[in-house]
Amino acid sequence: MNFWQKILAEKKMILALSPMDGVTDFPFRAINKKYGQADLIFTEFASVEGVCRSTSTKILNHFDFNDAQRPLVAQVFGKTPAFFKQAAVLLCELGVDGIDINMGCPAPTVANHGSGAAIIKNPELAKELIRVVQEGIAEWKNGLELKDCPDISPKTVMAVADKKKNFALPDIDRKKIPTVSVKTRIGFDHEEIDTWLPHLLGMRLVAISLHGRTLKQGYSGKADWSVIGRAAALIKKEDPSVVFLGNGDVTDYEEAMEKVKQYNLDGVLIGRASFGQPFIFLPKAEREKALAEKNIFKIALEHAKLFEATYPESEGYKFLPMRKHLAWYTKGVEQAALIRSELVRSNNSLEVEAVLRKYKLI
């Protein structure tokens, strides 16, 4: 039984933290797992071209995780089959639980290069990418070494070994291989699940996640859950072993549960509603208890400290990516605009603490 099936057997529904570039980094995932206990979490995506071609190993930080964050699915995007295969070997070596291929990103920096949601227009490439990731995993299982991958630099091999040590990740176990899944959208410029999804079925994917918007829609309008429901019926009919998750505009545990029941899904991914709100993954009674007993600003400070510890300035990371999280934590409090305006100028956790104390929030 893979971890998707295990969660389903235990909980009847999978509630996952959706992958979000620039958001679901190591500290955010750690806070989310600790206080929200999402069943499954995705990393932000990383480009396979970057993994194989970049002279810096900074891109590997996207995959940072520790055992507390399991089950952990690492997401990759790109368009070069050879790089997908080698990135899969690298992720096997790191010991992630799942590898997810992004076929849903609408950002011009991704889709205009033929990656992300643009792959919906190129189903043969979609199938090739799934195949090579599966091949990379199978070859790693049979003994392929990361250092023998032609486009993985010795520096990257060393960085992976360092990550395993720094995050106390278990030794390599070639019997434990990651699952392969795809996250996609309902179409390119119009809804086209009846022609798009059959290409993915029969590819031995363990799971598919579907965001109920087209590439053209970006994030505008509303996710179309009736299409997600039709996709669920199609998948259950054609390839019932595939775990199917819906995604788009869900705000909390109860809404996710409603969607699962109404549309016969295996689970739901929540993205934006998790901003500054780790408790939304908890059922209502637990959520209300957590909200009453825990001070969200203490959690914000813990997040800021963890961010600093994970990305010390010496590594070239600044406090900048943390600021948006601080702003999100102020949602709904009195004087939010004023507090936010100070928090988004903070440069370290000491400054964050000073602002929070000034407004008597901690």
Ligand X SMILES: Cc1cc2nc3c(=O)[nH]c(=O)nc-3n(C[C@H](O)[C@H](O)[C@H](O)COP(=O)(O)O)c2cc1C
Binding site for ligand X (CB under 6 A): 18-23, 44-45, 75, 102, 104-105, 183, 211, 247-250, 270-273
Residue 54 Cβ vs ligand X, minimum distance, rounded to whole Å: 17
Residue 152 Cβ vs ligand X, minimum distance, rounded to whole Å: 22
By beta-carbon proximity to ligand X, the closer residue of 235 and 250 is 250
By beta-carbon proximity to ligand X, the closer residue of 77 and 140 is 77
Six-digit token string for 74:
């690492």
**Residues 41 and 30 sit within 8 Å (Cβ to Cβ):** no
Residues found in the chain: 362
Residue 199 Cβ vs ligand X, minimum distance, rounded to whole Å: 18
CA distances from 252 to 97, 115, 185, 300, 319 (A): 25, 30, 21, 20, 29
Q: What residues are paired with 76 via a beta bridge?
A: 46, 101
By beta-carbon distance, which residue lies closest to ligand X?
Answer: 271
Task: Tell me how far apart the alpha carbons of residues 125 and 197 are, in angstroms, rounded to a whole number.
Answer: 14
By beta-carbon proximity to ligand X, the closer residue of 92 and 270 is 270
Closest to 201 in 3D by CA, of 247, 244, 264 = 244
Six-digit token string for 190:
């119009």
By beta-carbon proximity to ligand X, the closer residue of 12 and 222 is 222
Closest to 215 in 3D by CA, of 193, 184, 245, 244 = 184
Kindly give the pairing relationship between strand 243-247 and strand 207-214. Answer: parallel
**Residues 79 and 41 sit within 8 Å (Cβ to Cβ):** no
By beta-carbon proximity to ligand X, the closer residue of 136 and 248 is 248
Phi, psi (degrees; rounded to nearest 5) at 152: -95, 120
Neighbours of 358 (CB within 10 A): 10
By beta-carbon proximity to ligand X, the closer residue of 272 and 305 is 272
Task: Tell me how far apart the alpha carbons of residues 362 and 356 are, in angstroms, rounded to a whole number.
Answer: 6
Residue type at 301? L
For tokens 């079925």, name the residue: 201
CA 327 distance to own-chain centroid: 21
Task: Tell me how far apart the alpha carbons of residues 16 and 243 are, in angstroms, rounded to a whole number.
Answer: 13
By beta-carbon proximity to ligand X, the closer residue of 27 and 104 is 104
**Residues 22 and 321 sit within 8 Å (Cβ to Cβ):** yes
Residue 168 Cβ vs ligand X, minimum distance, rounded to whole Å: 26
By beta-carbon proximity to ligand X, the closer residue of 149 and 326 is 326
**Residues 104 and 117 sit within 8 Å (Cβ to Cβ):** yes
Residue 325 Cβ vs ligand X, minimum distance, rounded to whole Å: 12
By beta-carbon proximity to ligand X, the closer residue of 15 and 356 is 15
Residue 99 Cβ vs ligand X, minimum distance, rounded to whole Å: 13
Six-digit token string for 33:
């797992």
